[in-house]
Amino acid sequence: MTDGRDLIERIGKLRPANRRTGQPLHRPLLLLWAIAQAVHGRTREQPWSVVKEDVGPLLTEFADSSDGQQDVLYPFWALQRVKLWEVAESADLPLTSQGRRPKLSALDEANPVAGLPKQDYDRLSEDLELAAWAVSTLIIRFFTPTPPLLLEALRLKELVAGQVATCLRPVPGEPYPHRDAIADAYGGNRVLGITPLADGILTVYSDDKGPYADQRLPEMDWIAYTGDGLSGDQTLSAGNRRMAEYQEQQKALRYWHKPYKGHWTFETWAVVVQRRKRWGLGQDGRQRREFVWILAPVPSPMRETWPPEVIEALNEDDGQLHDDSVDVIPLEVDSTLETKRTSARERYQRLAAAARRTAAGRTRRSKIAQVERYLRSPAAREAVVLRSEGRCENPSCKGHPLERTDADEPILEVDHVNGLARTGQDIPEVMIALCPNCHALKTRGRNRHKLQKELRVIARSRHRSFMENG
């Protein structure tokens, strides 16, 4: 990385420890103060006594420090580890018995000078755009939502001028031909689907070619994003753990998308509004449980710009896992079923009962409810496919009702006969399995109303037939 991007990369490596009370913000605050010294042309190296006097009140007001001036000791020493800070003649300072930091009395006596490395100071003082980028990165990572008086207290408000999001790089809409080009420009991992760029802000990648089944939810712009892990049951580790942290902290991440045969584009900022689990096929072709992260696009990482429906969804989110894999268990992995002695009728009845249980709890009217209705009871969809016996349920189908995919699966689309928006019900008796051609006729055909009426009768009749015993 060049042109100051190595500075952003070092800022990205700044990771205060996670504690029960949250992340201590001492180091980010000291770094913001140091950047302000460069922006305003103050002396690069300041004595310990000045740093303590200036930064102590900031720690008290914005980092919940009980004794701000004494607590300055920790960032004053620790910020050196990521090469963003230098303490003159530090080797001469006596350390505590653990050797982690100098004694407070030793600092008071020696009063060493400290500040940004000279090369960083010179860059920041000469390039205010880079300074704004650095400040915005720290604000987004550690101070969102931003305390109202933080930027004023640091004398950095004019630098970002209320445009924190636009000072960041990359900006939404930037296209790149491949992942290597993104990494060359902004750092980060070249392969993983959930990984931060060099600035430390989490980024997710979605490729229409696969291997994950990511999708935009119909009739809304929210995204069902598949979790991290190619084969086997996904676990709450690696990228999934980072997603859970962003969900808990209600922080925005970057969403990159690559359409089939297209370019990678930073499409939007997004926030995690729900975590679900479903059955899916791993790269090894076997069924596995996978996470689905529901992402709501937002205009910027600044909470004050987020639409009301996103705020509502975040307030509604309980942070818990919504497990859609419980009711529907693929036969090939369900060791509790005697598959050879379980008839299609019995399995259909079990799935229909599960769908009704799920539908009974979905009476809310909100974006999250809309998401749940689309992702709807997997039991209902599974039941309809089972009932279809692998063929289009439109008796007048003139397409290819028995056509199969390369994976020997039926080419069927499960649809609500009256439309989900009208019924709001995810139960098999109001749903039907159609080939793509019949689905189009039912939705957009000139005679669609007549066909919908016929399909309503067929769906209920076939449902009754499968629900009968014997």
- CATH value at residue 311: 2.30.280.10
> Quick one: 355 and 239 in the same domain?
no
Q: How many CB atoms lie within 10 A of CB 437?
A: 17
Name beta bridge partners: 86.
Answer: 115
User: What is the Rg, in whole angstroms, of the alpha carbon atoms belonging to the chain?
Assistant: 28
Q: Is pLDDT above 70 for 2?
A: no
Is the predicted pLDDT of residue 302 greater than 60, yes or no?
A: yes
Among 325, 354, 378, which residue terminates a domain?
Answer: 325
Residue of 150, 171, 149, 161 lying closest to 256 (CA atoms): 171
Per-residue pLDDT, averaged over 234-246, amounts to 95
- Looking at the structure, do residues 334 and 245 belong to the same domain, yes or no? no
pLDDT digits (tens, 9 = 90+) for 403-428: 777 767 788 888 888 765 455 577 89
Show the domain range for 194. 170-325
Does 145 sit behind a cis peptide bond, omega within 30 degrees of 0 on the bond before it?
yes
Is a pLDDT exceeding 70 seen at residue 22? no
Tell me the pLDDT band of 280, cut-offs 50, 70 and 90: confident
Q: Is the peptide bond before 175 cis (omega within 30 degrees of 0)?
A: no
3-class SS at 371?
Answer: helix
If asked whether residues 313 and 342 sit together in one domain, one would say no
Which of 244, 58, 245, 254 has the alpha carbon at shortest distance from 165?
254
- The residue-averaged pLDDT of 424-439 equals 88
pLDDT at 304 over 80: yes
User: Above 60 in pLDDT, residue 363?
Assistant: no
**Do 9 and 156 reside in the same domain of the chain?**
yes
DSSP one-letter string for 186-218: H-S-SS-SEEE-TTS-EEEEEETTSSS--EEPT
Q: Provide the CA 122 distance to its chain's centre, in angstroms.
A: 36
What does the pLDDT read at residue 211? 85
Token reading at 336: 């509790």
Written as one string, the DSSP assignment of 393-434 is: S-TT--S-TT-B-TTS-B--EEEETT-HHHH----GGGEEEE
pLDDT at residue 368, as a whole number:
76
Q: Are residues 306 and 348 in the same domain?
A: no
Q: What is the mean pLDDT of residues 244-249?
A: 95
For residues 198 and 97, membership in a common domain is answered with: no
| Residues 156 and 23 placed together within one structural domain of the fold | yes
Weakest mean pLDDT among 154-168, 169-183, 335-349: 335-349
Angle at 262 between CA 261 and CA 264, to 5 degrees: 130
In this predicted structure, the answer to whether residue 454 has a pLDDT above a threshold of 60 is: yes
pLDDT, one tens digit per residue, over 83-141 is: 999 999 888 888 876 778 888 899 999 999 999 999 999 999 999 999 999 999 999 99
- Per DSSP, which regions of 125-208 are E strands? 175-176, 194-196, 202-207
pLDDT in tens, 39-60: 999 999 999 999 999 999 999 9
Given this model, what pLDDT does residue 374 score?
64
Instruction: Please state, in angstroms and as integers, the Cα–Cα distance from residue 318 to each residue in 225, 227, 361, 363, 388, following that order.
Output: 19, 19, 16, 17, 37
- Among 127, 147, 167, the domain-final residue is 167
Q: What b/e readout covers 179-215, taking b as 16+ CB neighbours within 10 angstroms? A: beebbebbbbbeeebbbbbbbbbbbbbbbeeeebebb
User: Which band of pLDDT confidence, cut at 50, 70 and 90, is reported for residue 1?
Assistant: very low
Residue type, 368: I
- Which of 121-125, 237-241, 374-378 has the lowest average pLDDT? 374-378
Instruction: Choose between 255 and 367: higher pLDDT.
Output: 255
Same domain, 255 and 358: no
Residues 296 and 398 in one domain: no
Paired tokens of 107:
């600092």
The overall pTM is greater than 0.95: no
Write down the pLDDT at residue 340: 46
- What is residue 402's predicted lDDT score, i.e. its pLDDT? 79
Task: Say if residues 361 and 385 touch (Cβ distance below 8 Å).
Answer: no
| Count of domains observed in the chain | 3
Confidence of residue 223 (pLDDT cuts 50, 70, 90): very high
Determine the Cα–Cα distance for residues 457 and 358; give it in Å rounded to an integer: 24
Same domain, 445 and 394: yes
Phi/psi class of residue 140: alpha, beta or left (left: φ > 0; alpha: ψ in -120 to 50)?
Answer: alpha
Last residue in a domain, options 292, 325, 358:
325
Average of per-residue pLDDT values in the chain: 88
pLDDT at 41: 95
Instruction: Examine the domain organization and report whether 117 and 229 are in the same domain.
Output: no
**Both 223 and 163 in a single domain?**
no
Q: Could you give the C-alpha distances from 465 to 190, 390, 468, 470, in angstroms and in order? A: 53, 17, 6, 10
Q: Which of 36-45, 274-283, 331-340, 352-361 has the lowest mean pLDDT?
A: 331-340
CA distance 132 to 168: 8
Percent of the chain, pLDDT > 90? 60
Contact between residue 154 and residue 30 where contact means Cβ atoms under 8 Å apart: no
Mean pLDDT of 14-34: 83
Label residue 356 by pLDDT band (50, 70, 90): confident
Residue 357's pLDDT band (cuts 50, 70, 90): confident
